[in-house]
Amino acid sequence: MKFNKTYFVIAIVLFLIEIGIAKYTTGFIRHTIGDYLCVMLLYAIIKSFVKISVIKTAILVLLIAYVVEFLQLSNLKNFYPDKYANTLKLVLGTSFSMGDLVAYTLGIATVILIEKLRCHFH
């Protein structure tokens, strides 16, 4: 474990953007751009606290995103505790979408590209 302030700041900014998207937008921005940025947020959170390679982190994040998406094919949402149901539905989703998988993949591809460019210019 090693704290990285840069990734932490990025995570905070992405989290605030995601809150704004969740509260104030609908349609494509909420459902697609939100998912695109979600994997970037998770990546930044992990990189804020754990020093592992770009590719390992990217694969881990994509795996988490895909697992959560495929869990939406189950009836798991029927077991959310009433007290947390709205929050869990917002965070974990309620219905499977191939478009979400594409958004996650493009988000991680963007992260990898940015990381490669960042390393190239440093």
- Cα 5 to Cα 29, 61, 90: the distances in Å are 28, 20, 28
Instruction: Give, rounded to a whole angstrom, the gap between the first and last alpha carbons of the chain.
Output: 23
* pTM reported for the whole predicted model: 0.91
pLDDT of residue 111: 98
Residue ranges per domain, the chain?
Answer: 5-121
80-92 tens-digit pLDDT: 888 988 888 877 8
As averages over each run of 10 residues, the pLDDT of the chain (122 residues) reads 96 97 93 96 98 97 96 84 84 88 98 94 78
